[in-house]
């Protein structure tokens, strides 16, 4: 055991993980991609207008590593062969706390958007080139309380035609998305409920109250990266831990039975993971890598 510990210290030097100043929570499991009736109306058809209201639950945000705090940007997963570089699109994004987790009946855009925070707007928008996650940095941040579900509202109009269909990654989540597209203004049209909820990444700066300095300064998790075993030790009493993959899915959770010990991760695939360390009333998220 002594030789093993010396090897750890000799090769790794530092055993403590530093918590992330920001957390990126990825919401949704991709089941497809759509250029219409999901997020933005970015097909090459005459449907230049769209409105979308997408629900995301507090539990899935927390499961993805999110904590209550300031949401400073979001990103959507762009696919397809087209581009929109014209600098003439109108886009407006809002976020709002809600208690419901699905659209039980057809929602009204005017009613639902009332009281929402406008986080981004532009009338000269170009969609960033290439595929993959495309960030929308907020001009006004949104304070997420950590317990409420949220709705992301997106209003869109493109005067020009994309060079090809631009699709957006989506998950299949029954009655959690409401959208409408059209060739003219949507003010007189009723929203339609569907299951094509856009994938989204939220960048969150956690509130200081969520970050337990005692956990952060006295908890050690090593080595990083690791192959089979994560060793841990703490000077503070802890209750349990939750392991997440890079997509925010829970893959393992258990109680702590001692202030030091090991977590077997031999069965996990190589990649980046997160571990949430939980005490009686606080939690802290750390990032680690499996070789």
Within this chain, do residues 261 and 121 fall inside the same structural domain, yes or no?
no
Within this chain, do residues 202 and 220 fall inside the same structural domain, yes or no?
no
Final residue before a domain boundary, out of 143, 171, 206: 206
Within this chain, do residues 176 and 227 fall inside the same structural domain, yes or no?
no
Within this chain, do residues 179 and 238 fall inside the same structural domain, yes or no?
no
Final residue before a domain boundary, out of 206, 222, 250: 206
Within this chain, do residues 194 and 221 fall inside the same structural domain, yes or no?
no
Q: Where does the pLDDT of residue 1 fall: very low under 50, low under 70, confident under 90, or very high at 90 and above?
A: very low
Within this chain, do residues 186 and 248 fall inside the same structural domain, yes or no?
no
Within this chain, do residues 102 and 169 fall inside the same structural domain, yes or no?
yes
- Name the more confident of 10 and 269: 269
Query: Do 83 and 163 meet the contact criterion of CB atoms below 8 Å apart?
Result: yes
Within this chain, do residues 218 and 260 fall inside the same structural domain, yes or no?
yes
Question: Between the CA of residue 151 and those of 94, 178, 222, what are the distances in Å?
Answer: 8, 10, 38
CATH of the domain at 282: 2.60.40.3080
- 2 Cβ neighbours under 8 A, 6+ residues apart: none
Q: Please give the model's pTM, rounded to 2 decimal places.
A: 0.70
Which residue segment(s) compose the domain that 32 sits in?
23-206
Within this chain, do residues 82 and 54 fall inside the same structural domain, yes or no?
yes
Within this chain, do residues 96 and 201 fall inside the same structural domain, yes or no?
yes
Measured distance CA(55)–CA(235) in Å, rounded: 40
Q: What is the pLDDT of residues 98-134, one digit of tens each?
A: 999 999 999 999 999 999 999 999 999 999 999 999 9
Q: Would you say residue 145 has pLDDT above 80?
A: yes
> Per residue in 31-66, is it b (16+ CB within 10 Å) or e — as a string?
eebbbbbbbbbbbeeebbbbbbbbbbbbebbbbbbb
Final residue before a domain boundary, out of 206, 235, 261: 206
Within this chain, do residues 91 and 193 fall inside the same structural domain, yes or no?
yes
Within this chain, do residues 278 and 231 fall inside the same structural domain, yes or no?
yes
pLDDT of residue 206: 79
Counting the structural domains of the chain, the total is 2
Q: What is the pLDDT of residues 147-181, one digit of tens each?
A: 899 999 999 999 999 999 999 999 999 999 999 99
């Amino acid at each position: 055991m002594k030789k093993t510990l010396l090897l750890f210290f000799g090769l790794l030097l530092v055993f403590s993980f530093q918590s992330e100043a920001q957390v990126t929570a990825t919401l949704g499991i991709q089941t497809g991609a759509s250029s219409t009736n999901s997020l933005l109306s970015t097909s090459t058809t005459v449907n230049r207008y769209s409105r979308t209201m997408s629900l995301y639950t507090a539990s899935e945000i927390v499961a993805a590593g999110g904590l209550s705090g300031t949401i400073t940007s979001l990103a959507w997963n762009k696919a397809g062969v087209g581009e929109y570089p014209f600098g003439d699109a109108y886009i407006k994004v809002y976020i709002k706390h809600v208690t419901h987790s699905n659209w039980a009946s057809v929602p009204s855009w005017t009613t639902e958007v009332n009281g929402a925070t406008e986080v981004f707007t532009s009338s000269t928008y170009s969609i960033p080139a290439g595929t993959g996650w495309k960030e929308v940095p907020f001009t006004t941040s949104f304070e997420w309380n950590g317990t409420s579900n949220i709705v992301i509202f997106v209003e869109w109009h493109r005067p020009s035609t994309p060079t090809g269909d631009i699709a957006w990654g989506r998950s299949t989540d029954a009655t959690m998305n409401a959208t409408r597209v059209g060739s003219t203004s949507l003010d007189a049209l009723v929203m339609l409920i569907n299951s094509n909820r856009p994938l989204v990444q939220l960048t969150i700066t956690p509130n200081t109250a969520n970050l337990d300095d005692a956990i952060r300064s006295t908890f050690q998790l090593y080595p990083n990266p690791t192959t089979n075993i994560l060793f841990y030790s703490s000077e503070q009493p802890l209750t349990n831990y939750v392991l997440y993959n890079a997509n925010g899915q829970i893959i393992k959770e258990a109680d702590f039975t001692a202030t030091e010990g090991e977590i077997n991760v031999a069965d996990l695939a190589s990649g980046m993971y997160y571990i949430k360390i939980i005490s009686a009333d606080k939690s802290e998220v750390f990032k680690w890598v499996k070789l």
